[in-house]
Structure 1
Amino acid sequence: MLNTNQHTYRILAIAPTPFFVDRGGHVQIYEQARSLIALGNELELCTYHIGRDMPGIPTHRIMNIPWYTKTDAGPSYQKLYLIVLLFFLSWREIRRIKPDIMHGHGWDGCWIAFLLSKLTGVPFVFDMQGSFTGEIVAHGYAKTHSLFFHLLQWIEKRTLHLGPVVTQSQQMVDDAIRDFGVRPDRIYHTYDGVDTDEFRPGLDASDLRAQLKLPTDKKIVVFVGLLKPYQGVDSLLEAVKILVDELHYMGAHFLIMGFPDEDKYAARAAAMGIGTYCTFPGKIDYKQLPRYLALGDVAVAPKLSPTEGDGKIYNYLANGLPIVAYDRPASKEILGDLAFYAELGNARSLADALHQALTDEAKAAELGRKGRELALEKFSWLAVAKRLMAAYADVIARR
């Protein structure tokens, strides 16, 4: 059981990523840090050379590497030397601020924090945002059951035993215990969160509707996320085509927000004959996202990874939107029965679920209302920060 002592801490967060970019994993890092500071903790963040500074988060960056400009998610061989640079930056900051605990974000954040813990004696937690092997397979760097895949699984298992783990998904907790032998008392389920004051129903977005030239006589289906196959964007376009061509439903327009491949997907939608049913505005500033979501009548979350978290769902809930999602453990853990579900990876099933959400207005309204209530009750960022502090207390007490 977690120690619930809410003593405050000096925290060094290590984020091997181009923080801040407007995508889900970075929102989690930012909101965790902001909420921990709001509860009286001192937190400083070490990260890559690129990305934008966020107000209220003291941020330290590695030396400028002008040829590395990658800001989307996924593996890169160049991260090998970025990790080394981030290790030395973090070591310098440990000597300066003398933290009580380190918070290593992601798998490479865990490796850095583990080595620094061995050198300095400062304890750490590993913030596992998803499966190591799952991410690499999803991005096309390895094939399931290949020799390389089995090597990655070995690395994943070894990493999970380097130190205490915090994660946002009960499915990831269960998998770590069952598949990798992690002790139940060394993994902490903290959930993800949402700012329910900013993300809320009833926001005025009429100016955005005009700016984006969205139709006024159709319902708007919103999606936000990285525009990549593993996020289900290809599957979503297939579902839109089925909805229009086979189910003969022309009363919806799809606002597909995100980057990096918005032009490619816009061209694909046009080639599929559904270009007039889709708008691709590109990257959305996180601070403006609540108003963009307010344009929606229905939200869709077609992510394909069975266990990887999906922060957009929390935002959809807080905005009071009825949600269409693939039936996967990570989504169902958050939503329970508060969604229109489709069979995982089945575009026809996704089209059917979208059709139901768009035509059953009474059920859609009920799910949206109950989703907002769930966000208020369970998923505030301050509640997440308190769970993190309880995990810190437990880890420090065990030293």
Structure 2
Amino acid sequence: MRILFLAPHPFYQDRGTPIAVKLMLQTLSERGEEVDLLTYHEGKEVSYPNICIHRIANLGFVRNVRPGFSWKKVICDFFMFLSMCSMLLKKRYDIVHAVEESAFMAIFVKMLIRIPYIYDMDSSMAQQIVEKSPSLKPISRLLDLLEGVAVKKALAVMPVCEALADIALTHDRNKKVLILHDVPLSTENKNGQNINIGNEIETSGLRVVYVGNLEPYQGIDLLLKSFQMVLAKRNSTNLVIVGGMDSDIQKYKSKCKQLGIAEKVHFVGQRPIDNLEGYLQQADILVSPRITGKNTPMKIYSYLQSGKAVLATNIYSHTQLLNDQVAAIAEPTPEAFSGSLLQLVEDGALRMKIGAAGKRLVEQQYSLESFKEKVNDLYDWVERNINN
């Protein structure tokens, strides 16, 4: 099949959605599909057989496009729409694979030249926009309706978790919906096994590690306040934060100074995804303090795969995958989160128990092979529908 793949974000970058897109492209390449990927001007170059990467014009005035709704993304999406129209004039495609908001571009294509599309639902666009820009809350119902249109017009919907599948089925209960869970990245990336945190920062005692961006929804403020409370009782514990843009790191370093914990919180900045396993293996406890969202964070799968104890907040973003048998679950308040963190710091047997249980869960149910099998099943179904 000839596939037009719309990815409205920088590609490639070592973060959630671009990583998922990379895995999808690898699978489609292995199938022998002919894929034209259209994406933003930013990102690292990657190469796969049968995959041709097209980028929007290099917008010198738009740099460092971040996750979530922003005016930078609106500008990039406008130029992406123009590029898409140009590509459609030159080539006929069998299917459009539309990630997140590019589904609305795909609706235009379907209405104009009747090419069907798959809606790759990595998040709830309506919820994400309101969380990023609370001033838009009065139009949240309109945003829900628009998201519903994207679902209803799609040939199939691919959400990344049960919560998003529920949203899709609420809009259209007869829609073909296939949940495509993320997978642990550490199974494919062994280059980080020789990483030594001690060579980058001076630490002694237990290491609590967070991996990810430092956007507000990730709950870094909650994490730092909770860690301050833990240090009051166990001051040999260290917090290592891997990831984040320089501006966010500086902001949270200032926050640490205000809280009096700067000497115990270590920011190592962004690191290649190939080094992920090395950092996870040197942790004693892995944390996900996220405070909002519906989709399960991609890092959770790698956290579990590492065999280390995981502490996550009690929000559906986490609990649709985790329970108290495979992770420590705490309410998203400093008192509750610090209490659970302190319990893990003090109880090595508990850390080993839930770490082993989490590893079993992800190996049995969320492997890369399972991911590829689901992608192949869906595209086999799509091909049959197109041919009919």
Asked whether the two chains share a fold, i.e. TM above 0.5, the reply is yes
Q: How does 1:52-131 map onto structure 2 within 5 Å?
A: 52-56=44-48, 58-94=52-88, 98-106=92-100, 108-131=101-124
Contact 2:119–2:150 (CA<8 Å) still a contact in 1?
no
Gaps of 5+ in 2: none
Q: How much does 1:391 deviate?
A: 2.2
C-alpha distance in structure 2 between counterparts of 1:201 and 1:50, whole Å: 25
**SS of equivalent to 1:300:** strand
Deviation digits for residues 207-265 of structure 1, max 9, x if unmatched?
x421x2231x31111111110221111111111111122xx122321111221201110
Partner of 1:4: none
Report the residue type matching 1:154 in the other structure.
L
Q: Distance in 2 between matches of 1:199 and 1:321?
A: 17
2:40 touches 2:55 (CA, 8 Å); kept in 1? Answer: yes
Mark the CA change 1:389 to 1:95 in structure 2 (over 3 Å): closer, same or farther: farther
CA distance 1:201–1:243, change in 2 (3 Å): farther
Deviations 1:300-349 (A, max 9, x none): 01112241230010111122221100112231222233100001x21211
Task: Answer yes or no: is 1:176 the counterpart of 2:168.
Answer: yes
1:375 corresponds to which residue? 362
Query: Residues of 1 paired with 2:213 and 2:266: CA distance?
Result: 15
More helix by share: 2
2:20/2:182 contact within 8 Å kept: yes
**Residues 35, 361 of structure 1: CA spacing in aligned structure 2 closer, same or farther, 3 A cutoff?**
farther
Task: Give the number of equivalent residue pairs.
Answer: 380
Identity %: 25
Bigger mean CA offset, 185-194 vs 220-229: 185-194
Aligned to 1:148: 139
The reply on whether 1:251 has 2:242 as its aligned counterpart is no
Partner of 1:49: 41
CA contact (8 A) 2:193 2:275 kept: no
From 291, 297, 314, the counterpart of 1:310: 297
Secondary structure of 1:177 counterpart: helix
1:31 to 8, 23, 39: 23
Task: State the 1:196 CA deviation.
Answer: 4.8
Q: What letter matches 1:255 in structure 2?
A: V
Call closer, same or farther: CA 1:196–1:279 in 2, change over 3 Å. Answer: closer
TM-score by length of 2: 0.90
CA shift in 2, pair 1:241/1:201, >3 Å: farther
SS of match in other structure, 1:58: strand
Check conservation: 2:296, 2:320, Cα contact below 8 A: no
3-state SS of the aligned residue for 1:103?
strand
Partner of 1:391: 378
- Confirm or deny: 8 A CA contact 2:169 2:175 kept in the other structure: no
In structure 1, how many angstroms separate the alpha carbons of the residues matched to 2:6 and 2:192? 37
Tell me the amino acid that sits aligned with residue 183 of structure 2: G
Q: 1:199 to 1:313 in 2, by over 3 A?
A: farther
Deviations 1:335-392 (A, max 9, x none): 233100001x212111111112222212211222232232222222332132123223
Structural RMSD (CA): 2.3
**Higher RCO (C-alpha under 8 Å, 6+ residues apart):** 1
Q: Tell me the secondary structure at the aligned position of residue 187 of structure 2.
A: coil
Unaligned runs of 5+ in 1: 1-8
**SS of corresponding position for 2:67:** coil
- For residues 264 and 371 of structure 1, what CA distance do their matches in structure 2 show? 33
Partner AA of 2:310 in structure 1:
I
Q: 1:209 aligns with which of 198, 208, 213?
A: 198
TM-score, structure 1 as length reference:
0.88
2:180 aligned with 1:186, yes or no? no
Q: Is the 2:231–2:237 Cα contact (8 Å) retained in structure 1?
A: no
Q: CA 1:162/1:70 → structure 2, altered by over 3 Å: closer, same or farther?
A: farther
Matched letter for residue 240 of structure 2: L
C-alpha distance 79-320 of structure 1, shift in aligned 2 (>3 A): same
Q: In 2, Cα distance between the equivalents of 1:283 and 1:331?
A: 23
**Partners of 1:134 and 1:305 within 8 A in 2:** no
After TM superposition, the structure 1 stretch with the greater mean CA deviation from structure 2, 236-245 or 193-202, is: 193-202
**SS across alignment from 2:223:** helix
8 Å CA contact 1:35–1:381 kept in 2: the answer is no
The question of whether the paired residues in 2 share the 8 Å contact of 1:101 and 1:392 is answered with: no
